[in-house]
Amino acid sequence: MKLRYLLLLLIILCFSSIFIGVKQLSPLDLFRLNEDDIQTLYISRLPRMISIVLAGMSLSICGLIMQQLTRNKFVSPTTAGTMDWARLGVIISIMLFSSAGMVVKIVFACAFSLFGSFLFLKILDSVRFKDAVFIPLVGLMLGGVVSAISTFIAYQYNLIQNVNAWFEGNFSLVMKGRYELLYLSIPLVIIAYLFANKFTVAGMGESFSVNLGLNYQRVINIGLIIVSVISSVVILTVGTLPFLGLIIPNIVSIYRGDHLKNSLPHTAVLGAVFVLFCDILGRLVIYPYEISVGLMVGIIGSGVFLYLLLRRKAYGF
């Protein structure tokens, strides 16, 4: 699939997303906008569309980076427990600072997710049986333990209802003034692109990288920092989008190969297209009500994940 076709599909879905919602707004209304239409467009619809695109692109790239660094096609921020660690960081920040602002929550979420990512890599180094499916299972088990700790703390401090509602992937609450944190992902994505070749070399192993003169540990640290910051920002802004960082890089690798720099633009655009499609579908299935995008991504993503598991030998996973 050529990149220009994906970009065309992305533009079409972005345009469609703006005009789907409870408040009736058609393309013809753009030529005769009243005050109410302007507020709907600039306060709700455009911020929602932008946040969907940024979240889809950035999380897909996070999955691509993690798969490259761990040399495993089934690793992502979801299956490595990165999202669960970020969630725990947010809960700890709320527990320690009841009136914690967004900056404090981001710092805690980034610190915990970074620690969790390093811990996951250390566990992988000590695992001898490195089967393609076994490694993400280790991450899922680790994430399950962390999630259980988060739930226990949330129950203890009467936060469980707020936490469950907050961390479910949902763009319906996105509006002007509540999504701008996602712009932090733009420079991180650019950095990921600049380091793409180094990530590719690092993915070949430490000894091979060192022989080529690459500072292996520094590249690993940069990759994990990018993944941790983006995961934290997305979870604080829109919640969890399961399987996104897992399935999109795998789909792209089927037709683009494993060279990170070549596949990164396709991964970013396809991730945005996928999340936009799920969000639009969630708004239309029981219109005028809405199914959360986290649920739609989870349903479709889990189906694709199962398909990839069953076909992994055919694709060399």
- Taking only the tens place, the pLDDT of each residue in 271-291 is 999 999 988 888 888 877 888
Helices 3-18 and 260-285, packing angle to 10 deg:
30
Domain membership of residue 102 (yes or no) is yes
Mean pLDDT along residues 71-91: 83
Lookup: tokens for 249? 């890089």
Mean pLDDT along residues 1-27: 81
Q: What is the mean pLDDT of the chain?
A: 81
Domain membership of residue 193 (yes or no) is yes
Grade residue 128 by pLDDT with cuts at 50, 70 and 90.
low
At 274 the pLDDT is: 92
Phi, psi for 168 (deg, rounded to 5): -80, 125
At 92 the pLDDT is: 86
* In the predicted structure, residue 313 carries a pLDDT above the cut 60: no
Q: Are residues 223 and 195 in contact, defined by beta-carbon separation less than 8 angstroms?
A: yes
Grade residue 163 by pLDDT with cuts at 50, 70 and 90.
low
Helix, strand, coil % (nearest 5) of the chain? 75, 0, 25
* In the predicted structure, residue 161 carries a pLDDT above the cut 70: no
At 132 the pLDDT is: 64
pTM for this predicted structure: 0.84
Output 99 or 279, whichever has higher pLDDT: 279
CA dihedral 204, 205, 207, 211 (to 10 degrees): 30
Domain membership of residue 30 (yes or no) is no
* In the predicted structure, residue 172 carries a pLDDT above the cut 80: no
Sign of CA dihedral 193, 197, 200, 202: negative
- CATH for 176: 1.10.3470.10
Q: Give Cα separations from 218 to 57, 206, 209, 210 (angstroms).
A: 24, 11, 11, 11
Grade residue 246 by pLDDT with cuts at 50, 70 and 90.
confident
The structure tokens 């226990």 sit at 152
Domain membership of residue 31 (yes or no) is no
Q: State how many domains the chain has.
A: 1
Sign of CA dihedral 63, 180, 52, 144: positive
Domain membership of residue 32 (yes or no) is no
Q: What domain range includes position 285? A: 3-13+42-315
Lookup: tokens for 122? 């250390």
Sign of CA dihedral 188, 191, 193, 197: negative
Domain membership of residue 162 (yes or no) is yes
Domain membership of residue 247 (yes or no) is yes
* In the predicted structure, residue 67 carries a pLDDT above the cut 80: yes
Mean pLDDT along residues 165-188: 75
Domain membership of residue 18 (yes or no) is no
